[in-house]
Amino acid sequence: MAIHNSISSMLQESLHEMLLVSKYCIEYRKNPKIWGCYGCYGYPAAILLLAITDAIGSHVIGGSCVRKHFDILKDYRYYNLALTKRQIDDIYKEYRCLLTHNAILGANAFLGIGSQESPILEYKDQKTYINLFPFFLLTNRVVARFLKKEKVK
């Protein structure tokens, strides 16, 4: 943590810190004897990755409507995900808001670790899954692109 003279230099540090901690959370493997199941630190990883999405959206899209920041997910210059308005609304409501404010996910919202080849967002048995590892990989590229190309307001 450093003292910064500009928003740009602060973003260089804050976004990289969030990426590194999210990576640690995804790579961590729970001991089922302690946790009762296998997995990673999925909830904090998701919170951080969604916070990065929100932050980049706030700088690129702007405005005070936080939900609109998540439209960055379909912006071809950044995430370039082929998502509908409803899917983005669900990510915002069922993942970002509930997880950040209530420490829970929506009733049909789940997290998976996934692999490099996994889709970021997938639907199985009428349930929505965000796969954290491919979301992290894409977010890592998005952060690099954002910090390199965008003039921060």
| pLDDT tens-digit profile, the chain (153 residues) | 678 788 888 898 999 999 999 999 999 999 999 999 999 999 999 999 999 999 999 999 988 888 899 999 999 999 999 999 999 999 999 999 999 999 999 999 999 999 999 999 999 888 999 999 999 999 999 999 999 875 544
Residue 133 lies in a domain: yes
CB within 8 A of 99, min separation 6: which ones? 43, 46, 47, 50, 105
Which residue has tokens 């998701």?
A: 46
Residue 1 lies in a domain: no
Give the tens place of pLDDT for each residue, 70-101: 999 999 999 999 999 999 999 999 999 999 99
Ramachandran sector of residue 145 (left: φ over 0; alpha: ψ -120 to 50; beta: rest): alpha
> Measuring CA to CA, how many Å separate 23 from each of 77, 97, 138?
23, 21, 12
Q: Which domain holds residue 103?
A: 7-149
Give me the amino acid identity at 54.
D
Residue 2 lies in a domain: no
Domain count, the chain: 1
Phi, psi for residue 118 in degrees, rounded to 5: -70, 145
Output the six-digit token pair for 125.
Answer: 């048995």
Residue 18 lies in a domain: yes
Contact status, residue 31 vs residue 38, Cβ threshold 8 Å = no
